[in-house]
Chain A
Amino acid sequence: MHLHRLEKIWLGIGFSMLCLFLLVLGIMSLTMGMAPPGGHHQSIDPAKVRETAPFDKPMLKKIGENEYEAVFLAYAFGYEPHKMEVPAGATVHFIITSPDVVHGFEIPGTNVNTMVLPGEVSHVTHTFDTPGEYLILCNEYCGAGHEYMMTTIIVK
């Protein structure tokens, strides 16, 4: 099909730009581990969440030098554990599931933003360099109390 010379150039530029974006995104994923959440597939029976380890005891656990595992339950309409505190510079691996409907797990000001699905376990990691009280909120409509669903994580 014949294309005007300038259209060919434009499409070449446009296509190259898209390829550049894809390359950057792909490299970041493969080499720097900056991938979207969900790579680690772990399913769970949604009706038995509160009896299945580790979700029978949602809590913060230290696993290394300034490295933690935070097991969370996202339910209608809150999060367990209700309060969490880590030192500044801590790397936290969040492990989250839902005993009821779909929820979100978003920490504004960071890239922590993942869906929490009944039947699946969500894994997302963040290093909290700056101290403060970080808001964790549900950004996926889950019912009448959706706008109240929150908790905080204190970084000292």
Chain B
Amino acid sequence: MGNASEKNTLYPNERNPQPEQRHDSSLKGAFVSVLLLGGFIALTWFGVFALFLARN
């Protein structure tokens, strides 16, 4: 995977990939952030949904 001279499937500035364990535990902040985003979407949607039902 690391050979730069061959048919290049990697992004042009490839380096030797690091082991993945270091990576896996450090995205909790991103995960919580997107969950908040999802919560906002759900809140908005159910709010308008409630309005729709009330007006029917």
Within 8 Å by CB, do A and B touch in the complex?
yes
* Nearest B residue to A127, CB-CB: B56
Bound-state CA distance A6–B34 (Å) is 10
- Cβ proximity bits B15-56 to A, threshold 8 Å, 1 near / 0 not: 000000001100110110011001001100100010010011
Shortest beta-carbon distance from A100 to chain B in Å: 29
Interface size class of A (residues with CB under 8 A): 10 to 19
From known contacts A14-B38, A17-B38, A17-B42, infer whether A9 and B56 are also in contact, taking CB-CB under 8 Å: no
Bound-state CA distance A17–B52 (Å) is 19
A110 at the interface (CB under 8 A from B): yes
A27 at the interface (CB under 8 A from B): no
- 11 additional contacts (CB under 8 A) given A6-B30, A7-B27, A13-B38: A4-B23, A6-B24, A6-B27, A6-B28, A13-B35, A14-B34, A14-B38, A24-B49, A34-B56, A109-B55, A111-B52
- Cβ proximity bits A1-17 to B, threshold 8 Å, 1 near / 0 not: 00011110110011001
Would B49 and A6 count as touching, CB distance under 8 A? no
- Neighbour of B27 across the interface among A4, A21, A109, CB < 8 A: A4
A-B contact pairs, 30 of them (CB 8 A): A4-B23, A4-B24, A4-B27, A5-B24, A6-B24, A6-B27, A6-B28, A6-B30, A6-B31, A7-B27, A9-B31, A10-B31, A10-B34, A10-B35, A10-B38, A13-B35, A13-B38, A14-B34, A14-B38, A17-B38, A17-B41, A17-B42, A21-B45, A24-B49, A34-B56, A109-B55, A110-B55, A111-B52, A111-B55, A111-B56
Bound-state CA distance A31–B55 (Å) is 18
